[in-house]
Amino acid sequence: MYPVMLDVKGRSCLVVGGGGVALGKVEGLLVEGGNVTVVSPQVINPLEKLADQGEIRLIQRAYRAGEVAEYALGFATTNDTQINTQVYEDAVAAGVWVNVADVPELCTFYLPARIKRGALQLVIASAGGAPFAVRRLRQVFDRLLGSEWSEWIEAATRFRNILRERVAVPAKREKSFDQFFSSTVDARRLVVHVPGEEEMEAWLPGKLEGSEAGRSPRTGISKPEETRLTSGFVSLVGAGPGDAGLLTVRGRQRLLAADAVVYDHLAETVIPCELRRDVELHPVGKKAGYHPVPQEEINRLLIRLAQQGKRVARLKGGDPYVFGRGGEEAQALYEAGIPFEVVPCVTAATSVPGYAGIPVTHRQEVVTVSLVTAHESSKEGGPQTRWDLLAQDKHSTLVGYMGVISLPQTVERLLASGMDPETPAAMIERGTTSRQKVVRARVADLPGAVLRSGVRPPALFVIGPAVRHSEQLDWFGSRPLLGERILTPSGGEESVVDALELSGAEVISVPLPVSPAARIVVSAAPLTGCIFRTADEVEALEDERALRNWGSEVVAFCLSEGAAAKARNLGWACVEEVLGEPAGEELVKRIGNRRVAAQRNSGME
């Protein structure tokens, strides 16, 4: 097979069939700008919605012989062998490229599995012979490649354009390309660093050619005038601690109205799944010990997008102005003349302890709250934080951000400064989310307890007398389904979602077809289950099972016999029919029973 990539933008594409497989083809074509017509007597609801929204042309009748000849590309996705064969033969006769789903011998082209990171695409194919292997390989590479690769490929594109403009000798360009690649890619771990303008400037060969006019005074890299359009607007939006329900109303409004969303790693679970499909999504988040996109490059990205006239939502983990470097981003926007606003959030300093049963203030017991970054305890040249004063205030709650690695030094400083070693303390990992984990101990023992429990960032510590109330007031940690992360197609019964959420499960409602934003949310953390009402929903989500954090142990909870039969037919390892009424209560009961059984089996092992 000869591999090619087709540009379908503006081209007419025919999809014959109206089920979940057809939906997958339609979605892929729409993302790439194709003009799609669907022909089928019956279609599933998501296709009807796309037609109602004017995104596709829908003809609800049977396929007519020869009509594929009117299109540039044809797809047959029906369960009728005769119709699929007719589409194939008509397409071949007319010289139209055609693909019949899951029938390699009736294809003049195949659709490989794709891993997309912005403009970067990796494709895996088997010439139609082993789709099961291709799908599993896709899962492997999807887990290996982080979201930062999308920003890396954009930086690579900008660097190539600079070299083409400045350097005429191909050999010199290649040396610079080698330098770019070796300096930004860890080929062994498949991780990347997104370079800033200063770094790229250093990789240009020799002296810059031509006039200095129009180039940045800081780096010399030109900023073409065509990118300087009407200034846009930037909203610095706080995502909060991780629970999507704690995103503010204004923050959600700004995200839904944005042309581009620049988001942190810790903000992925908060992105609205119903963001428009044409919204630019720019991942720039940091993880503990790994900062692929430098802060200076984030600042430039915000400015660059705004200068293109876009409305930009900068979605920051936590609050923009609480240890979030939002002030630096706001300063950079101000200096560039970009109008901006700050949308605060429900900050982790109060919400995370609250979800762990800790009131950060308590009448006649705690009257002050101090927020610190624990990195200060191990800062070279001495800390700016007065640990001595904090240690001696017996009526205060101390909340520490980024505290896992530096916790031993922090506790050592506090104890050395006179803090009572019996002071109640806690470390809270991924607070407010389905993965919340709380470790409680007296402050002198907290570092050892945290080490033994395996707590990892992101986490914050809370030290003070109010922590003693934690076990009594632990309303969130005591919920029976805490730890469950369950996906359901949008449009289901609200009572089902309410019942699950009140029992502690995190529920993700995704639109069909699945939006790019929804894929980010789903992939942000491991799923434990999916709720399906119909066989069409099972089929519509089939391709999404290749996403990161969607393992084979995910349970298909099916609310109809048809959905259960389809899930088993598609190879789901765990299928459970939930046919009782009301469905929400029955689901809570079934999921709870599975958890008890799993704990019992784990204990036996």
| Catalytic entry in 25, 286, 437, 566 | 286
**Number of domains the chain contains:** 5
- The burial of 89, by beta-carbon neighbours within 10 Å (0-12 exposed, 13-18 middle, 19 or more buried), is given as middle
Phi, psi (degrees; rounded to nearest 5) at 315: -90, 110
Residue where one domain finishes, among candidates 469, 493, 511: 469
Q: Is residue 225 part of a domain?
A: no
CATH code at position 380: 3.30.950.10
**8 A C-beta contact, residue 98 and residue 76:** yes
What pLDDT score does 4 carry? 85
- Structure tokens given for 78: 């029906």
Same domain, 435 and 381: yes
Whole-angstrom Cα distance, residue 605 to residue 595? Answer: 15
Residue where one domain finishes, among candidates 345, 378, 413: 345
| Catalytic entry in 90, 264, 536, 543 | 264
Q: Is residue 394 part of a domain?
A: yes
Whole-angstrom Cα distance, residue 26 to residue 314? Answer: 30
- Structure tokens given for 205: 């060969």
User: For the chain, which ranges sit under pLDDT 50?
Assistant: 207-229, 604-605
Q: Is residue 124 part of a domain?
A: no
Whole-angstrom Cα distance, residue 147 to residue 516? Answer: 12
Buried b (16+ CB within 10 A) or exposed e, 146-161: bbbbbbbbbbbeebee
Whole-angstrom Cα distance, residue 59 to residue 75? Answer: 15
**8 A C-beta contact, residue 78 and residue 16:** yes
158: β partners: none
In the block, residue with structure tokens 């204990």: 603
- Structure tokens given for 296: 């200076």
Whole-angstrom Cα distance, residue 406 to residue 447? Answer: 9
Q: What residues contact residue 594 under an 8 Å CB cut-off, 6+ apart? A: 555, 576
240: β partners: 318
What pLDDT score does 566 carry? 93
Phi, psi (degrees; rounded to nearest 5) at 343: -110, 95
| pTM given for the model | 0.83
Buried b (16+ CB within 10 A) or exposed e, 255-265: beebbbbbbbb
**8 A C-beta contact, residue 377 and residue 383:** yes
| Residue (of 3, 38, 9, 2) closest to 21 by Cα position | 38
Q: What residues contact residue 167 under an 8 Å CB cut-off, 6+ apart? A: 173, 176, 204, 205, 209
- Structure tokens given for 509: 């409602």
CATH code at position 529: 3.40.50.10090
Verify whether residue 9 is a known catalytic residue.
no
Q: For the CA atoms of the chain, what is the radius of gyration?
A: 27
Same domain, 66 and 102: yes
Kind and range of the H or E element at 589?
helix 583-604
Kind and range of the H or E element at 120?
strand 120-124
CATH code at position 255: 3.40.1010.10
Q: What is the 3-state secondary structure (H, E, C) of 430-479?
A: CCCCCCCEEEEEEHHHHHHHHHHHCCCCCEEEEECHHHHHCCCCCCCCCC
Same domain, 404 and 460: yes
Q: Is residue 144 part of a domain?
A: no
User: Would you give the distance in Å from CA 484 to the centre of its chain?
Assistant: 18
**8 A C-beta contact, residue 185 and residue 174:** no
Whole-angstrom Cα distance, residue 180 to residue 163? Answer: 11
Q: Is residue 132 part of a domain?
A: no
Whole-angstrom Cα distance, residue 105 to residue 107? Answer: 6
Residue 219 burial (CB count, 10 A)? 16
- Structure tokens given for 68: 């594929």
Verify whether residue 264 is a known catalytic residue.
yes
Distances (CA, A) of 544 to 24, 105, 519, 522, 555: 10, 25, 8, 9, 14
**8 A C-beta contact, residue 24 and residue 542:** yes
Same domain, 451 and 528: no
Same domain, 259 and 282: yes
Residue where one domain finishes, among candidates 83, 111, 139: 111
Same domain, 192 and 244: no
Domain span at 41:
12-111
Same domain, 400 and 463: yes
- Structure tokens given for 517: 């934003």
Same domain, 491 and 597: yes
**8 A C-beta contact, residue 319 and residue 298:** no
Q: Is residue 133 part of a domain?
A: no
What pLDDT score does 137 carry? 87
Q: Give residue 208's identity as a one-letter amino acid code.
A: L
| Residue (of 543, 500, 409) closest to 134 by Cα position | 543
Q: What residues contact residue 231 under an 8 Å CB cut-off, 6+ apart? A: 306, 307, 309, 337, 338, 339
Whole-angstrom Cα distance, residue 406 to residue 252? Answer: 34
Whole-angstrom Cα distance, residue 463 to residue 403? Answer: 12
Q: Is residue 216 part of a domain?
A: no
Same domain, 266 and 338: yes
Same domain, 252 and 314: yes
Same domain, 437 and 497: no
Q: What residues contact residue 600 under an 8 Å CB cut-off, 6+ apart? A: none
What pLDDT score does 273 carry? 96
Same domain, 532 and 579: yes
Q: What is the 3-state secondary structure (H, E, C) of 51-107?
A: HHCCCCEEECCCCCCCHHHHCCEEEECCCCHHHHHHHHHHHHHHCCEEEECCCHHHC
User: Would you give the distance in Å from CA 74 to the centre of its chain?
Assistant: 32
Whole-angstrom Cα distance, residue 60 to residue 20? Answer: 16
**8 A C-beta contact, residue 35 and residue 12:** yes
Q: Is residue 121 part of a domain?
A: no
CATH code at position 87: 3.40.50.720
Let me know the angle formed at the C-alpha of 319 by 263 and 273, rounded to the nearest 5 degrees.
Answer: 40
